[in-house]
Structures are given as structure tokens and as C-alpha cells.
Structure 1
């Protein structure tokens, strides 16, 4: 059955809302709520009716119902003030007031059932790390033969998510027990003991396929992310792999951000190792001297609680690297030795942990001067998790230091596409400045260095690159100001210390940087 109102079509069989032929992304409970209101538009739908039909009889808060009604209104261009289509009837419920016409779909479905699903025997406790289940995607193609494509997509996503060691993923066989069922996301969260649920749909038309996905916090019913992916079926399995990679690449940062916000809200006396790690990660993203000091203490606390927490070792080592490169170390030999120790533990304990290999490997390259080994470790991290943004931009920076400027730029361009809103964007920007500087493109290098400093004014490498780039480009009007900025950040910086500051591998690259700093007026 299809319900047509204004320029919208609500397709019950396809479980899809479209506006002038374009799919409107809404969650499953929001869809169920809209369907209930539309199919009962001649009467007021009480809150008891809503609870029974949409939440399978479970009691939910008033705010949950209100937020879902607001989501329905937003999906169909209505508001709580206008109430053009969905009207609140005080103390009674809600009524759909739009003019509706009905037409038959490919096969009529029964009306939305209010019969609740069987209640779980017990509510499982959440694991001590982020947890997710990926539900079978709905096949909206109208062709049951296409089920294999939708199922294969979900299996690929589950496999990719399972490679993230910080994430607890429900196994494929359990996820697929929900295939073909009308489900309550919050109920599934309790039944499986997971915080997050990923669901979606697949539609195939001719040689085109469209996949939609949405990530939901099952504990609150909040929608965290929704996206649509499209492609051609010329190579169906390649498309399947690419879309699975895109979905995982999109939701992994969302999961991390959601977990960081959750950790911030927890009382400090109830934190475990992972929550200390999350809080440290949030500080590390900030990049300032004070934030890095706080992050380092938090990572040490995580290690104290879990002595085999490889990622925490990697992040702690990386904090020591960041202190070194920004001139913040008070006891350089001791701190470099400690950072190196932590980095080696990270890559030994985390042989299959992409985060540990990325941060530990990059720290080793800078603290121990072993750029080749650092690149090898980051390449392994990419194999383990092709969607980990730091593995790409830190790998790009190491490749620039090894003289592979074009490969570095390719890596950095890829990560900007992979994570366009990354909280550590300044690292990608300073990497681009470094690569273009070694390639002799000084004006472009200066532009990237300015962008990096705009995002993090205390970034010493960006300030040094800016001064050297302006000097090589003959921009005397800019050189003095850039040098003053550099000297203010680190009055002890000298050209003669460049070799111990950055592990530049090619002699001509080193000399180009040293000469740029000399031309800018930095003392020898």
C-alpha cells in the first residue's frame, strides 16, 4: 500500500518515504510512527496506541515520544509550531490532518501490527567497550533474488567492523536472526547487550544500486548518522567491498565521537581503562601543550588499569613525540627514551591493533629516527583498517620525510576525502605543507602552513615551514613576521638542531629546509 499526500509518497511495502521521487532518510521507528498516523488519519492516535504499535508495548519516556513526533514532522516538512500535517491533540494524542490518497503497491502488506515481539529473557549488560550490531539490510528491489547482495553487504560490514579491536561486534549469525522482522532498536540493544545499532536498506534498479544506512544509539533511540551510497553494478563484488568500506569509514569516527562524549559525561570516580583512554584521545585532538600534558596523564592511567592496552601505549608514546616536535620537553633524553619505550610496547602488544601500530609506529620514526620501520608499521595498520584516518595522514607525513612527496600528497588527499571533518585536520595540513616544501612548491607550502596555524596557532613545525617557505619564495614582506612567530614559540630553536628535530631522510630536502630557515634569519 502507498499513501500519497502533498508531494510525498509513503510506501508501506518498501518502507520508504519519498518527496518528488527523492528518498527521505528516516529511522525505522520514525517510519513506523508516520505509517501509524497516516493509516489512521481519520482518528486521534493515543499515546497508548503509539507505545503498543511502535515500541511493542514498552514504556518509553515522554521526551522519546516527543522527539520521534518531531522527527516525523521534520521528515514531511512540518513543525511543532505549524502542525500543518501532524496535529497534537492535548491530553489525547496525535492526528494526521493531511489529505491522503491510497494506491496499491506491488503486493499489499498487512497494516502495522501492534503485537509485541517476544520479550527477551534478560537484559544483557553492556561490554566495557563500544558495542554494535549490524542488522540485515532491507532489500527494497522488489526482487527476492537480490537478497544475496544485501546480505553480502552486511557480512562485509560486520567483518570490517570486527577488525576494529576497540569495538565489540555481534556475530553475523546472531544479527541475521532479525532478518524479515519488524524490530525495535532499543529492544534489540537490550536483548543483545549493545549500545549501537546499524541498519539500512538496498535498492537495485537496472544497473544502479543505492544503499542507505543509519547509526542509532540504542540506549536512547537517538540517530547519530545517516548516509546514502550509490554505484553501478558493473562489478557487483567490487561495489559491495567499496560500499562496505565507505560505511565503515563513515561510522567509525561517529562511534568514536559518541563514545568520547559519553565518557565526558561519566563521573570521574567510575572510570575504567577505556574511558581514561577516550578522555585522553579527546585531549590529544586538541593539540595544545596543556591538553597534551593532560592526555599523557590519562593514557598512563589507562595503562595502569590495563597493562596490555596497546592503543594506550601508542597514544602515550605519541604524546611524547608531540612534546618533542613542538619544543615542549623539559628533559629531552629522558622523555625521548620513555616515548621510545612506550612506542615499542605499543607495536609489540598491538601487532593486530591498527591504532597502536599507527601511533606507536609514527612515534618510533620521530623518537628513534627509524622512518622506514615507521612507514612499514603504518602500512600494516592500513591493511588492518583501511579506514583509519591517522594511518593515512601520519603515513603521508613520514613519506614526505622520506622524500616521497607525490605519494605523501596522494595519501593526504585521500584522508581529507575519508575524514573531511577530522578534529586533527591541522596535522593533514602541516603534512601537505611539508610535502609541497620538499617538492619546491614554496607558495603552496606557505598556504598549507597558514591553514595549519589557523587551526592550531601553537604548531611549531608549521611556523618553521611558513618562515622557510616565505624565505625561499622571496616574500620578504612576510618573512620577518613569520620568523618572529617562530622565535616566540621556541626561542632555543637553531638551524643546527634541525637534524635532531625532524628525521628528514634526503640530503637535498634537509639542506632546502636548513637554507630556508637561514634565509629567514634563524640563528645557526
Structure 2
């Protein structure tokens, strides 16, 4: 239904709020609150009714409800003083008071009494089934609109050779980049499908592994300066062929046309309506130089290792030299450079700052989702959190259903100490795309809020490597099961000899075994990974506190806060700081973090 009031349209079927015809971004739970108030506009709704309807009996603070009311008013151009849309009925609750144009009766089918009873009975059974279903999924998924989940798998080279093998993954990556603008699709990111580049795979098995509704797959042949492709879209649940397109053919010089051709075939095949603005965004990122496009595609296929990043950077530089107006090339250059910057793996002056590459990409295409996401994360980690939030909220306007948009917002909120919002946003990201390894970062929120078993359960969703094994060790250490923790730390060290998680594992092994010297050395090594990132500095600070090294703990905690990490609730509740919690300097730093958190909260919520 569509409710109209003032200059707003509230579309409850498509989860949209528009003002003067333009869609605006709304937090999912704030949207749900507005809908609830509008649908009950003839009465005062109590705080308990809001709590029961929106949070389903969960424990939520009064402050959280107040913040959601404040956010709803802000979205609707109202505030607590004017109260022209949402009125506070003191000691009772709230009422929606704006004059509302009711949905037309013609838009709602009318049933006779017997049919109503049958419908009511059906709805009871349906809702019970849905409730059971959602018990098995993250809480946040209940507020998600219906999305078509799709994975674009790397295309198979019919005649494999080292010169053209790159094309299969690279083209899939480009198609993913185009489909991400479409609000009714949830598209698996390139990171989720990269591993299938060197495999012979069964598309249906892969589709089930990735938890998607549709698989786009196919093959290609590069012959006589032409590229021929066969592609098909398959529904995973019943192995039904939605469509097959045989012998798409373009010249090698016009390979860039393929991403648009295939993306359009997907749109047509799914028979989903998309807005003109969504489709227009797809057409922005086309290189004008065939060789520049080839260099760019080759860069995307290099692995995410130090050597792979350096090779990719060289290839992107060649691409940009031929076409300096292709936005994705600058976004890719920034992303590949960022990791090298973080760990001091590039000589000073060898590259411009990754920030400059992201900004260049956005100057060419202000809506480029990859550049918005990369720059937002960069700003979060470099003490520019307000700029990060501005970019992430723009992503939410472009595609409010994009999993990476929700994750990016959650990441920002975690740094700012908005724990409930951070958890909610990351849970939504995981609900949309459960297999995306980037989203395993939600484990940190569960771990830091005492939900150790929930965090452990989440580590099993992902491939077992240093990250997941390291977290298992940390979580069992928190649960007091040191022997289990040692087992996982040993597994980390078998896989990672000198990386970040190797040093974390070495430290906790030394701590458990009372080897102070070895533990201190591990922390000194860990400091090389933490010199720019506030969250890593925070963890480093807490580990020094475990060793009763007050000076190093306070020094690194101050660095963390000054680097833009001010999650004071994590700091205040972390038992690793017990040895210094009564120290005046620690209290001073905690007060500083809290002040930054409250300032952020006041400005944006």
C-alpha cells in the first residue's frame, strides 16, 4: 500500500519512502516504526506496543526507542519541538498526526465473511511457519524485502591458455559491478566467486553452496580476434533453465560491450522491473579504449597477495595511461594500493595515496559503488568517520538492499561505539549474503559483547583459516578453556608464520604458558600491523594490559582513540583492562572516547 502525507509517499509493499518523487534512505527499523505509526494513526501507541511489534520482545533500552523516534521525525522533516507528524502523548506514547491520504479501496480486494475466516486461518498457519523459519536465520533478515539472489560464476575458457584465462573471472567481476546497482537483486561479490576460477564446477552445487536463487554461468572462446560466448541463467532450486544465449559474438577490440550485453540479458531474463535511474547507472562505466580495458580486466584477475597486488597495480597503470577517464580502474588501483600502504609494503612516494585514487574514481562517476565503499572504509580507519558515514549513506540511497552497504554502515557504527546499530547492520549483510567472507567481521561484535557461543557458531560458516581459527582461540580463551584455545592457536601458526594472526596466536600462547618475554616480543611484532588502524591499536592496547604493561597499554589506547576508534563501551567492558581500570589516565581516555561517541551520536541520530 502507498500512504501519502505532506510531500511524502510511504510504499509498504516495496519498502520505500519518497519525498517529492525522490526515494530517500531510511534505516530498516526506522522505516518499520514509521509504517507502524501510520497504520495506527487513529490511536496512541505505547512504548510497549512499539517494543513488542518492532523488537519482538527483545531487551531494548529506552534510549534506543527514543533514538528511533528521533530518526523517524528527522526523516519526515519533523522534530521534537514542532511535532507536526509524530506527536508525543506524555506518559502514554506516540501518535501519527499528519493528514494522510488513505490507500484506495479499489486497490484492496474485498472478501465476504466466510472468506475472511478462511484467510485469517491461513494467515495464522502461514505466520507460524514464517516464525519457525526465521528462528533459523539472523534476526535482521526479518526486515529485509524480497530479493533475487544471484551469483555470476567465472566463465570457462573453452581453449585454456595463459594469455586469455584471465578473461573468465574478469568479465564476471565486471557484470557483478553492474548488477550491484539493481535494488531487487542481491549479487554475490567477486570475492565469493573468485575461488571457482581454477575449478571445474557443478553450477547447481555451487549455487547451493553460495545460497543463491540463480546462477549465471557459461563459457567463451577467443579465436581469430573474436570472442564468442555461450551463457545461461539457471534457477538453483529446481535446476530450471531460465534462458540460454548461444554464440554472443564481439570482436576482441569491443570486448567491453560484453558486460552490458550480458547484464541486459540477465535483466530481461528475470523479468523484473527496474527504475530508469538504476539502469542508467549501469551504463556509466565503459572504457573507450579496448587495450586499456584489457589491461584493467587482467588486473582484476590477479590474486589478493602482496605480489598479486603489485602486479595488478602495474597493469592498472598501463590501463590508465591509455584511458584516464575509466572510473573502475582508479577504484581498483586504490584498493590494491591500500593493503600495501597499511603494512608498509610500498616505498614512500612510489604511489599516490589510495584516497586520491578513490576520489579520482568518484570525480568521474560519483555513483561508483566500489569506490564509495572503499573510500568509506578508508575514512573509517583514518579518523574521518563523519566523511565515511556520508559516503555510506549515499550508498544506501543508491541501493538500500546491497549487502556491502549494510556492512559498511555496520563497520562505521562499530568504530563509533553504536553497538546495537553495528550489530543490526552487519546481521542484515550476513542475512543477504551469508557466505561473504568479508562479513565474518560480525564475529568481533558478538565476541566483544559477551556472545561467545554465537561468535563460535559463526566461525563455522566460513573457510577455516588464520582468521576463523584465531577467533576460535580467542573465544575459547574468553570461555576459560585454555587447552582448546592453545589447539586453535597452534593451527593458526601452522598456516601463518609471521602475519597478524600469527602474532596474536603467539602472544596468547605465551600468555597462557606464562612466557612474558615471548608475549612481549609478539606484541612488538603485532604493533607493525597496527600503526594506522584504530581498532587494531585498541586490541593491542588490551593485550598489553593483560601483561600489566600499563604504559604501552595507555599509549596504544590513546593512539586508537586519536585514530578514530572510540567504541568506549567495548573499552569499558573489556576485562583485559582490569589491571588498569582504576588508573586516572585510563579513566581520562575512556572519558575522551565516550565524549567522541556521544558527539557522533548527537550529530547523526
Same fold (TM over 0.5): no
The structure with the larger Rg is 1
TM range (shorter): 0.3 to 0.5
Superposition TM-score, scaled by structure 2 size? 0.38
